[in-house]
Amino acid sequence: MKRVFGVFGDPIAHSLSPAMHNAAFSALGMDCVYHAFRVKPEKLEKAILGAEAMGFGGLNLTVPLKEAALKLDCVKPDRLAERIGAVNTIVFKENEKINGYNTDGSGAKQALQESAVEMRGSKVVLAGAGGAARAIAFQLAADGAEITIINRTEARAIELAKEISAAALPGKVEGRGLSGLKAMLQDADILINTTTLGMHPNTETTIATAEELHSDLTVFDIVYNPLETRLLKEAKASGAKTVSGVSMLVYQGAEAFRLWTGIEPPVELMKKTVLEAFKA
Ligand code: ATR
């Protein structure tokens, strides 16, 4: 009988995860299917327990459920998910508690690694202090990066930096406002945008322009709608290396796939499938 996997969220109709995971299952000849389910936060616990009762293999959780999942008694988050404050992957195993993980940080790390970007000791400017920034910042700190979190609301950046410092990870971290970005970037190796700047429909907005960037930088925008954001265009114009948000989308999904199945997923095929779904 087919093993069922799925993504819960609201809205969820435009999720690219079903296409990505079904392509992987099918390429590996696995008798599995992945479906999107619209679930409201107040029904999340029932939905997760229902999925467990029906023998699902695993789940992804997306907006607005990732933080809510952490508060449920039925989900046991691992340490990283707990620190981040959000669960995006659920694993069901027979006779075990329902385990919760967060693969966003690992997805970002692998997207950077794909571009041969070294994390240890590198200087990273991380723009934003929301959920995605939290996941990436904890991962980067664990990997020994020197992180400056910059955010429109400076207090949020400072608070996140404090939390990460308290976790005593190898990396160094500080929080600041958005001013003086050009000077900060002069000295940096990587700029990561986790803010909503540049995201459809505000496609003309950007955290930085070519004039503030330089050719020794790697610029990673986790926004993937549009595929090439204004920031990535500005980065190309400045001669910087670019990493697109699609890579993170695929790698966080691939990491979830590994957690569910223990099998190495066909990452290139998953990426191709996502890019084709964008064109459709
Ligand atoms: P997510 O969970 O996807 O990271 P979020 O928690 O809503 O999303 O965070 C959005 C981020 O984009 C925040 O860092 C936000 O800055 P504030 O903390 O000041 O709200 C940032 N952001 C949104 N609109 C912005 C804008 N116009 N200029 C600069 N930063 C912006």
Among protein residues, the one with the nearest Cα to ligand 1's atom 11 is 195
Would you please indicate which residues are annotated as catalytic (active-site) residues? 66
What are the boundaries of each domain within the chain? 3-102+247-277, 105-243
Atom 30 (ligand 1): residue with closest C-alpha?
Answer: 152
- CATH 3.10.150.10 for domain 3-102+247-277, yes or no, is no
The Å distance, Cα 65 to ligand 1 centre, comes to 18
Cα-to-centroid distance, 194 and ligand 1 (Å): 8
CA 203 centroid distance within chain? 20
Phi, psi of 4 (to 5 degrees): -100, 135
Classify domain 105-243 at the CATH topology level: Rossmann fold (3.40.50)
Tell me, yes or no, if the two domains 3-102+247-277 and 105-243 fold the same way: yes
**Ligand 1 atom closest to residue 130's alpha carbon, by position in its atom list:** 6
**Whose Cα sits closest to atom 2 in ligand 1?**
131
Q: Which atom of ligand 1 is nearest to the CA of 129?
A: 14
Mean pLDDT per segment of 10 residues, for the chain of length 280 residues?
96 95 98 98 98 97 96 96 96 94 97 86 96 96 97 98 95 97 96 97 97 97 96 98 96 98 98 92
Atom of ligand 1 nearest to the CA of 178: 29
CB of 141 closer than 8 Å to CB of 170:
yes
Q: Burial code of 223-244, b = ≥16 C-beta within 10 A, e = fewer?
A: bbeeebbbbbbbbeebebbbbb
pTM value surpassing 0.85: yes
pLDDT of residue 141: 97
* Residue 54 amino acid letter: M
Nearest CA to ligand 1 atom 5: 130
Q: What is the residue with the minimal CA distance to atom 9 of ligand 1?
A: 130
For residues 259-280, one letter each, b for 16 or more C-beta atoms within 10 angstroms of the residue's C-beta and e for the rest, the string is bbbeeebbbebbbebbeeeeee
55: CA distance to ligand 1 center in Å? 37
**Helices 104-114, 245-261: inter-axial angle, 10-degree rounding:** 120
- Atom from ligand 1 closest to the CA of residue 134: 4
Q: How far is the CA of 42 from the centre of ligand 1 (A)?
A: 25
Ligand 1 atom index nearest CA of 202: 27
d(CA 106, ligand 1 centre) in Å:
21
How many separate helices (H) and strands (E) can be counted in the chain? 11, 12
* Residue 49: predicted pLDDT: 98
Q: Assign 108 to helix, strand or coil.
A: helix
Task: Find the largest Cα–Cα distance for the chain.
Answer: 59
Q: How far apart are CA 144 and CA 3, in angstroms?
A: 39
Neighbours of 13 (CB within 10 A): 8
Which mutation among 125, 134, 152, 230 tests ligand 1's pocket best, with the greatest number of atoms within 8 A of CB? 152
Residues with CB under 6 A from ligand 1: 128-133, 151-153, 156, 194-197
User: From ligand 1's centre to the CA of 36, what distance in Å?
Assistant: 26
Residue-level pLDDT at 263 = 98
Candidates 250, 251, 252, 200; CA nearest to 229 is 200
Residue entry with tokens 């500080």 = 174
